[in-house]
Amino acid sequence: MGLKILIVDDSTLTRKKIIQIIHMVDLEVDDFFEAGNGKEALNTLNQTENVDLVLADLNMPEMGGAEMIQKMKSVNAMKSIPVVVVSTESRTERIKELLSEGVKDYLHKPFTPEEFRDIIQTVWSEPQIENTNILEECITQALETMAFMTIMPMENDLPTPQKTILASMNFMGARSGSVHIMASLDCAATLAENIGNLPEIGDDDPADALKELTNVTTGLILPMLATTTADVFAITVPTAETCDDSSQWNEFAADKKCTILNVEGDLIATKLIIDGKI
């Protein structure tokens, strides 16, 4: 199925030229919609479902591009539609500001089919937070990195269950969410010792160390999350004596409402709960 693209520019000629350029790119487009200013564009978006991309000029009569983008962000049905600014302005402070506020990218007029193709690839190559599989993959990667950082120096010091870190995630919106980390106090204490020398963490309190490490790790791997929080819970993990096979681990996981992602020999077990709607 092809794309639906809305082009917002007060020049009819420019809108036609943009359509001509898009036709030169190997991109399947079902429908082009046109609007002469931001107000018309919002009306079009209200009346049209599933618009895939908005290309918007900034300087237009009645309602300019910046105001239109701001209004789109306040409407649930519109806020996740990617917007690319198309303007004769160079990368001014205003454009940098728009980019920091969630505008996907920027095209300087005039632009070539090749430049448009590059932009399109950027727009759709970014992980979409709404895509559960990609998100879960990113989170898993983040946790596995954290587990790796945690276990390397401590693998011989604690029995496996005490190395366990449990994690739960809850996402409330496109760019906010929480990551809750649960660990045994023994695990957190050892972690604090192991990472105490890192300047960006540098705290010998077990709970704070675990929080900081979580924030750093998820911040690096999940840059789309504007906020992450890490809480440490004191939990009683099964000991090697009481939990010595996988079925018992599964029971424990079910009890804690977690999913076991990775248990490798005597290495750490990282567990993940996807909690809430993603």
Partner 1 sequence: MQIKDFTGIKNNGPLPEPQLVQIPDDIGDLLPDYIESIGSILEQLEEAALAHESGNRTEENSAYIRRVLHKIKGESSMVGFEDIAELYHQAEFAFEELEQNEKSDMLLRLKDWTNAALQHMSN
Which of 13, 49, 100, 156 binds partner 1 (CB under 8 A)? It is 13
- If the CB atoms of residues 71 and 94 are measured against partner 1, the closer one turns out to be 94
Q: How far is CA 193 from CA 92, 134, 209, in A?
A: 46, 33, 9
Number of helices (H), then strands (E), in the chain: 9, 10
Q: What angle do CA 262, 195, 189 make, to 5 degrees?
A: 75
Distance between CA atoms of residues 106 and 68, nearest Å = 16
| Binding residues among 109-138 for partner 1 as defined by CB under 8 A | 109-110
Least Å distance, CB 25 to partner 1, is: 14
Which of 3, 16, 127, 203 binds partner 1 (CB under 8 A)? It is 16
Find the part of the chain contacting partner 1 (CB under 8 A) among 15-23, 68-76, 223-231, 236-244.
15-23
- If the CB atoms of residues 11 and 239 are measured against partner 1, the closer one turns out to be 11
- If the CB atoms of residues 20 and 141 are measured against partner 1, the closer one turns out to be 20
12 near partner 1, judged by CB under 8 A: yes
The separation between CA 276 and the C-alpha centre of its own chain, rounded to angstroms, equals 16
Element (H, E) at 269: strand 269-275
Distance between CA atoms of residues 90 and 106, nearest Å = 9
Least Å distance, CB 40 to partner 1, is: 18
Tokens representing 119 are: 């932009």
Find the part of the chain contacting partner 1 (CB under 8 A) among 11-19, 65-73, 149-157, 185-193.
11-19
1 near partner 1, judged by CB under 8 A: no
Q: How far is CA 92 from CA 75, 85, 109, 127, 137, in A?
A: 27, 12, 14, 27, 36
Which of 14, 176, 259, 262 binds partner 1 (CB under 8 A)? It is 14
Looking from the CA of 35 toward its CB, the CA atoms found within 13 Å total 28
Which of 43, 48, 70, 88 binds partner 1 (CB under 8 A)? It is 88
92 near partner 1, judged by CB under 8 A: no
- If the CB atoms of residues 11 and 131 are measured against partner 1, the closer one turns out to be 11
Which of 3, 17, 176, 205 binds partner 1 (CB under 8 A)? It is 17
Q: Quick one: CA torsion of 56, 59, 64, 69, rounded to 10 degrees?
A: 40
Distance between CA atoms of residues 231 and 208, nearest Å = 9
Which of 20, 131, 132, 242 binds partner 1 (CB under 8 A)? It is 20
> Which residues bind to partner 1, rule: CB under 8 A?
11-14, 16-17, 20, 88, 109-110
